[in-house]
Structure 1
Amino acid sequence: MYLRYFGLTEKPFSIAPNPEFLFLSDRHKEALAHLTYGLGDAGGFVLLTGEVGTGKTTVTRSMLAQLPESTQVAFVLNPALSEMELLASICDELNIEYDAKEATLKSLTDVIKARLLANHEQGGHTMLIIDEAQHLAAEVLEQLRLLTNLETDHKKLLQIVLVGQPELQQLLQRNELRQLAQRITARYHLLPLTESQVFSYVKHRLNKAGCNTNLFSDQSIQYIHQVTAGIPRLINLLADRCLLGAYSAQQQEVSKQIAQEAAKEALPLNLIPEHQKRALNMPALVSGWVAAMFACGFGLSFLF
């Protein structure tokens, strides 16, 4: 709707992942460096955590782009699985044939280990990436640890990347998972963008969409950082609505006022400072109103 008005070739703030719009902040680059180092070591487990929308998928995609072509990667995107279901999913991802009706934990483990060894003998690598890993059951994590027992004199034959929300760190602190925790060769917790990084992020995405002018005032960017806490996914939601608001008002620049109105439409109310102030003042307002009612001679029967 607003593309032609602002001279854009496509939506700059779509929440759908698009490699063309890849933006790596200093924090994303640091996370990528930690993961790459961990994977280049002896193998085992690598851990990436962060709040929802902070860019864990962005870092993971960047990591994948740097892997050798000889690396076979298995993805598990729904980790709420039993041990059997997880091993079956790994087999499916690695194109390993197995008899689903006769499958057991041992038989699935055996065929997976056979594939790991075959990949290694052919000069290849095998990697397992598990998203939303905070939902993994302790016994499933232990099963993953057992898979990493297969190794040569120099490295593990399976590298596992666990990606999840901060709860994953708490999960791995459990006593029964201490052996797995000791095998984590690199870990990184991804923080949201700083205010200066939000400026760079917005400019980067506008440029990628064909705009070489700044469509957002400094005050609007500062407000966007404030209400989104620097979380890229929320920034995209709000910035997109800001451009729509500026178009509707026939303005060439997103002002702070436009950003404030857009936030009410695009974000949960509890994130908006103006609403937070009203919510905090509400008990006092209600108490004052009730006191005034009593002062005027009205009793509780009026209220109920």
Structure 2
Amino acid sequence: MMYTTHFGLTEVPFSMTPDPRYLYMSERHREALAHLLYGVGEGGGFVQLTGEVGTGKTTLCRCLLEQLPPRVDVALILNPRLTDIELLAAVCDELRISYPAGTTSGKLFVDALYRHLLDAHAQGRRTVLIVDEAQDLATDVLEQIRLLTNLETPTQKLLQIILIGQPELIRLLDKEELRQLAQRVTARYHLLAFSEDDTRAYIVHRIQIAGQKKKIFTDAAMRSVHGAARGIPRLINAICDRALLGAYTQDQRRVMAATVRRAASEVLGETLTPRSARRWQWVGAAVLVVVLVTGTWVLVTQGQARLIRRAVIPSAMNPTPTSAILSALLSDPSLRADRQSAFASLYASWRLDVDGSMDNLDCERGRSEGLQCLFKTGSWGKLRRFNLPAIIELSTPAGDRRYATVVALDEQNATLDVGGRRHVFPLSEIDLYWDGPFILLWKAPVLSSVPIRPGTRGKDVEWVREQFAEFDGVPGGGRNRQVFDNDLRARVIAFQRSRSLMADGIVGKETLTHLSAAQRDPKIPRLRRAGS
């Protein structure tokens, strides 16, 4: 590239071609890799890694392959748009398993794979199947993959499966017909984009690897890169590369924010530049005023045509939720929609006072009341099953992070508390800005040890029985109320299946959360009340 000599670089720092020398692992990437390695070591079941396009999932997969123990065999499927038979053939090809040419018999493939897995197990080897872009898998192919986890010895699963995909994979696995597969996921991680500090460190790191120790991008320029790229590494590369070229053509020795904005406009399109983003904020705010004042139907174009619902003006006596344009709301600089304000709303739903201060408000506030935070990634279906208010993280068109609290939810709409005001939005509209992470509070019981496993004895087991007696109205245990027997295990498994949890009969934290949320306690806030 012509600009390398100009900036004292020995090579192009922001090439799209993968190069292990340029690898930068943010804290989130390290956590994700740790989850993958943990899942591989579990022995059987599924590991799920999701993230937006360009956040580094494939890079993590490459790191995983480099760090696997030597006695691990890997089948890597990069093109998941296959039939179930084609998938079995691809797995056999990856593992160098022979099969009759031209066969279309699924049984022949599975039998050959089973023999191979048993032989590998006898030699002390483990086998891992990795499927990239797994959100493109057909339902029947996913079911075939699930059946592969049934290949086992009397004591151990023979195949570990890793599914890597975009956020659509979360919603795919939330389907009713795939609940058996979802229950077998032993480790999940949703990879978020870089924070602003990560973006800054990433840019500096790549420039230094390319041979320049001096600062080329100004602080303002790096902030502009982060905002335009929304913290997505692939977009950061594209914008920085174009910005370096732009600065070179203008004979500038440093890349300024204005140059980054022009580069982002070329790479991403005009509507993602700060100038046009401000223009759309103004348009959106103006239309919002019209909607709120007139209560009429309007059609707004913001990247695409969107129908805005009828607005209802809240009164001081009756704070009825209002309809609004979500993008305009999230882009309103006067609205406080940070994590602390979302926690204030969440605690308010539990009728807890935050002492008038929202500074540093987090999970610690609820501990004295017996409340704990649960951090999860999922879909609307998962939130419905918890049926508890939750904080969700939203990304604005300009790449900023805003936070809202889901306080009500039905099949089509969600009521969000954003900056202290409530608005109703279609789920499809919120999905444009939400990738699945959420935080909820739950009333944690006072137990001596978690998880509670079959065979355990004591007061903890008696508490579990009491919860089930309240939940389904069927007492049990008799004299063995403090013994975790097979009858209680069967009730736990049935409950876990009803909530699309891993049906292992073990009362762990997530099962406890669902069990606690299922209590008929009027003090527990709900997204939906019984019968609604």
Aligned to 1:105: 106
Alignment partners' CA distance in 2, 1:187 and 1:155: 21
Shift of 1:280: 5.9
Q: Structure 1 stretch 231-240 or stretch 140-149: which is displaced more?
A: 140-149
Aligned to 1:11: 12
Aligned to 1:300: none
Aligned to 1:70: 71
SS in structure 1 of the partner of residue 164 of structure 2: strand
Shift of 1:144: 0.6
1:163-214 CA deviation, whole Å, 9 max, x = no partner? 0000101111111211111111101000000001101000111111111111
Alignment partners' CA distance in 2, 1:11 and 1:141: 41
1:129-152 CA deviation, whole Å, 9 max, x = no partner? 111101111111111111111123
Aligned to 1:204: 205
Identity across matched positions, percent: 53
1:213-258 CA deviation, whole Å, 9 max, x = no partner? 1100000000111111100000000000111111111111101111
Matches within 5 A, 1:153-172: 153-172=154-173
Matches within 5 A, 1:248-287: 248-279=249-280
Aligned to 2:247: 246
Alignment partners' CA distance in 1, 2:283 and 2:146: 52
SS in structure 2 of the partner of residue 99 of structure 1: coil
The AA in structure 2 aligned to 1:101 is G
Alignment partners' CA distance in 2, 1:58 and 1:139: 28
Aligned to 2:31: 30
Shift of 1:153: 4.3
C-alpha contact (below 8 Å) 2:50/2:167 kept by paired residues: yes
Matches within 5 A, 1:135-150: 135-150=136-151
1:49-83 CA deviation, whole Å, 9 max, x = no partner? 00000010111111111101221111111111110
C-alpha contact (below 8 Å) 1:28/1:59 kept by paired residues: yes
Residues 1:128 and 2:125 aligned together = no
Structure with greater strand percent: 2
Matches within 5 A, 1:43-54: 43-54=44-55
Shift of 1:262: 1.2
SS in structure 2 of the partner of residue 155 of structure 1: coil
C-alpha contact (below 8 Å) 1:228/1:271 kept by paired residues: no
RMSD over equivalenced CA pairs, Å:
1.7
SS in structure 1 of the partner of residue 58 of structure 2: helix
The AA in structure 1 aligned to 2:38 is Y
Aligned to 2:222: 221
Aligned to 1:86: 87
Alignment partners' CA distance in 1, 2:180 and 2:132: 21
Alignment partners' CA distance in 2, 1:213 and 1:248: 20
The AA in structure 1 aligned to 2:265 is K
C-alpha contact (below 8 Å) 1:42/1:154 kept by paired residues: no
Alignment partners' CA distance in 1, 2:201 and 2:154: 46
Shift of 1:101: 2.0
Q: Which runs of 5+ in 1 are unaligned?
A: 285-304
C-alpha contact (below 8 Å) 2:13/2:207 kept by paired residues: yes
Shift of 1:270: 2.9
SS in structure 1 of the partner of residue 14 of structure 2: coil
Alignment partners' CA distance in 2, 1:105 and 1:124: 24
SS in structure 2 of the partner of residue 49 of structure 1: strand
Alignment partners' CA distance in 2, 1:134 and 1:269: 30
> Cα gap change, 1:181/1:207 in structure 2, threshold over 3 Å: closer, same or farther?
same
Residues 1:192 and 2:193 aligned together = yes
Structure with greater helix percent: 1
The AA in structure 2 aligned to 1:28 is H
Alignment partners' CA distance in 2, 1:271 and 1:93: 42
Aligned to 2:180: 179
> Cα gap change, 1:153/1:66 in structure 2, threshold over 3 Å: closer, same or farther?
farther
Q: Structure 1 stretch 243-252 or stretch 216-225: which is displaced more?
A: 243-252
Q: Name which structure has the greater RCO, CA cutoff 8 Å, separation 6+.
A: 1
Aligned to 2:235: 234
Alignment partners' CA distance in 2, 1:37 and 1:153: 23
The AA in structure 2 aligned to 1:146 is L
C-alpha contact (below 8 Å) 2:14/2:237 kept by paired residues: yes
Shift of 1:36: 1.1
Alignment partners' CA distance in 2, 1:144 and 1:228: 35
TM-score by length of 2: 0.52
Shift of 1:273: 2.4
Aligned to 1:299: none
1:24-62 CA deviation, whole Å, 9 max, x = no partner? 000000111111111111322100000000010111111
TM-score by length of 1: 0.90
Shift of 1:271: 2.1
